Structure 1
Amino acid sequence: MTLPHALGAGLSLKADHYADAFDCVAPGLWFEVHPENYMVGGPRRAWLEMMSERHPLSLHGVSLSLAADCPPGTEQLQRLRQLIDRVKPALVSEHLAWSTWRDQYHPDLLPFPRSTAALTRIADNIDCTQEALGRRIAIENPTHYVRLDGHDWAETEFLAELSQRTGCGLLLDVNNVHISAHNMGFDAGTYLDAFPAAAVLEVHLAGHSVDASSPELLIDSHDAPVAEAVWSLFQRLIQRIGPRPTLIERDEHIPPFTALLAERKRAQAQLELPQ
């Protein structure tokens, strides 16, 4: 249960599906949650602890703000460590983004220039996070909507260097690559081909939508089935790097559990193909 590459395809765990998820016996199945929803105890965390005895879990954080100008808060890391110690997840991950800056909190995953100074700062934040948690984490590639100046590094090279300096793993979100390629005008396949394969601990697949006010912009909305273009990129990726734990990510317009299982089955079938 603790070996990430032994996992198959997983699903985002939603409250509406607790009973179905608990009873499901699909081989290789695992579930991912945002740990922020389970840190305070109560019935929700008690249920997650029950789930951890039945299925492998992954904790996918959204609030450590690793690209900020200061380390994650000590109390926040302690609460996350307590949850990790209780549910013993197979995977723990966070985003390459910031949401807290100089005591100001912004409820979003915000971008930054990939400068050498940012690389050093983020590596330090990852180091202190892994030390506090007592384990390796994976860092997710971001989704891009606007062009920023000041980049010293290509994104794949930046992530590879972060992994080399800190020992962290990487979470490759294929939907993020597709959206960013569309919005920024680069080739998604070329990006995937350059991604550091050895560091990939987890893959994400999700749906997206078109921005209502700017139809040329794609939004990482997680509110629809995985698009065919993303499935094609996933196939290309797995053919190159081999099977990795792969999540079907869904956060809005949640369909019946059976619909998510059908998407999960498609991902699992790709992971099981001879490489």
Structure 2
Amino acid sequence: MTTSRPVKTLPQRAGLGLKPEHYKTILSDRPDVGFFEVHAENYMGAGGPPHRYLEEIAALYPLSLHGVGLSIGAARGLDKAHLARLRQLIDRYRPQSFSEHLAWSTHETGFLNDLLPVPYTEETLARVVAHVDETQQTLGRPLLLENPSTYVLFADSTIDEVDFMATIAQRTGCGLLLDVNNVMVSAVNHRLDPFAYIDRFPVELVGEIHLAGYDETTDAAGDRLLIDAHGTSVRNDVIELYRYTLARSGPLPTLIEWDNDVPDFATLNAEAARADAMLSAAALQHAKGRAA
């Protein structure tokens, strides 16, 4: 279990992914955004314009650091050099949150440009727990582990996904990142009930929520197939699932993920404003519940 140092938490607001094309707009207009999130691997260089802009923005807004390359579910050991770069980045910016995916993307000496699922077995559970422990010890702080979007199920899986993630958190002291879009994508692809998934998810362990848009096609049988594409506004069914989640959890920091076909900042900010309105409503509802 990690030995943590004090870290401020993200506000219970909507945040946006920080994109280079929006640096100057953010610094000139100072928009009312709860926080910004950056992919850690994009800022692992020593300097240059990305760091110059990030330093200015991090001085104005809370920061969420999201890893996409740690390969925490891989069968091989973690990359010590990558962990060291993550530690340097965290020490430099002291983000309010650090998160990674329950996935793998490395094999032997190669790196795969995708986040691949893991089988939910006791062997995988022990390996992921060890990797989370190592990561938290190296970084000196807890991480949030994100539920995946999946397109296949493993025949040898013996543990339910929610139980798998809850056990990792219990054994390591990490928190969880609940990606509501990923829940919808996986549920539709595997003919499951996304609301039942949320009913079982340990929302008391969630430190951040992600929302994104998906693409839709059909599989060989003609059934719906959703793809976690991050290239559109958040779909209406994901919004309804998000409302349902907030009714259980209360307001939580919520990121709007839009990584492909990135629109102008006003369009992104409108997505954040929509989520902020739902967060405010959830805060009011939970306050009424406590007063009753």
1:205-244 to 2 correspondences below 5 Å: 205-211=211-217, 216-244=224-252
The residue that corresponds to 1:50 in the other structure is: 56
Partners of 2:266 and 2:73 lie apart in 1 by 37
Q: Is the contact between residue 7 and residue 28 of structure 1 (CA under 8 Å) also seen in structure 2?
A: no
1:75-224 to 2 correspondences below 5 Å: 75-211=81-217, 216-224=224-232
The residue that corresponds to 2:39 in the other structure is: 34
1:171-197 alpha-carbon deviations (Å, 9 max, x no partner): 000000011111010000000111111
The one-letter code sitting in structure 2 at the alignment partner of 1:9 is A
Partners of 1:53 and 1:7 lie apart in 2 by 19
Q: CA deviation at 1:111?
A: 1.0
The residue that corresponds to 2:3 in the other structure is: none
Q: Is residue 83 of structure 2 the alignment partner of residue 74 of structure 1?
A: no
Question: How many pairs are equivalent?
Answer: 275
Match of 2:21 among 8, 16, 22: 16
The residue that corresponds to 2:265 in the other structure is: 257
The one-letter code sitting in structure 2 at the alignment partner of 1:244 is L
Q: CA deviation at 1:213?
A: 7.5
Gaps of 5+ in 2: 1-5, 287-292
Which segment is superposed worse, 4-13 or 187-196?
4-13
CA RMSD for the aligned pairs? 1.7
TM-score (norm 2): 0.90
Partners of 1:58 and 1:160 lie apart in 2 by 22
Gaps of 5+ in 1: none
Query: Which secondary structure state, in structure 2, belongs to the residue aligned with residue 217 of structure 1?
Result: strand
TM-score (norm 1): 0.95
The one-letter code sitting in structure 2 at the alignment partner of 1:252 is N
Kindly tell me: are residues 197 and 97 of structure 1, through their superposed partners in 2, closer, same or farther at Cα, counting changes over 3 Å? same
Q: Is the contact between residue 183 and residue 197 of structure 2 (CA under 8 Å) also seen in structure 1?
A: yes
Which segment is superposed worse, 18-27 or 235-244?
18-27
Q: CA deviation at 1:212?
A: 7.8
Query: Which secondary structure state, in structure 1, belongs to the residue aligned with residue 169 of structure 2?
Result: helix
Partners of 2:278 and 2:257 lie apart in 1 by 17
The one-letter code sitting in structure 1 at the alignment partner of 2:38 is V
The one-letter code sitting in structure 1 at the alignment partner of 2:39 is H
Partners of 1:3 and 1:237 lie apart in 2 by 24
The one-letter code sitting in structure 2 at the alignment partner of 1:224 is T
The one-letter code sitting in structure 1 at the alignment partner of 2:150 is H
Q: CA deviation at 1:27?
A: 4.7
Partners of 1:213 and 1:196 lie apart in 2 by 31
1:196-238 alpha-carbon deviations (Å, 9 max, x no partner): 1111000000001124886731110000000000000000000
Partners of 2:31 and 2:18 lie apart in 1 by 15
Q: CA deviation at 1:3?
A: 3.3
Identity, in percent, stands at 44
Kindly tell me: are residues 97 and 221 of structure 1, through their superposed partners in 2, closer, same or farther at Cα, counting changes over 3 Å? same
The one-letter code sitting in structure 2 at the alignment partner of 1:154 is D
The one-letter code sitting in structure 1 at the alignment partner of 2:21 is D
Partners of 1:213 and 1:184 lie apart in 2 by 12
Kindly tell me: are residues 9 and 23 of structure 1, through their superposed partners in 2, closer, same or farther at Cα, counting changes over 3 Å? farther
Q: Is the contact between residue 66 and residue 96 of structure 1 (CA under 8 Å) also seen in structure 2?
A: yes
The one-letter code sitting in structure 2 at the alignment partner of 1:179 is V
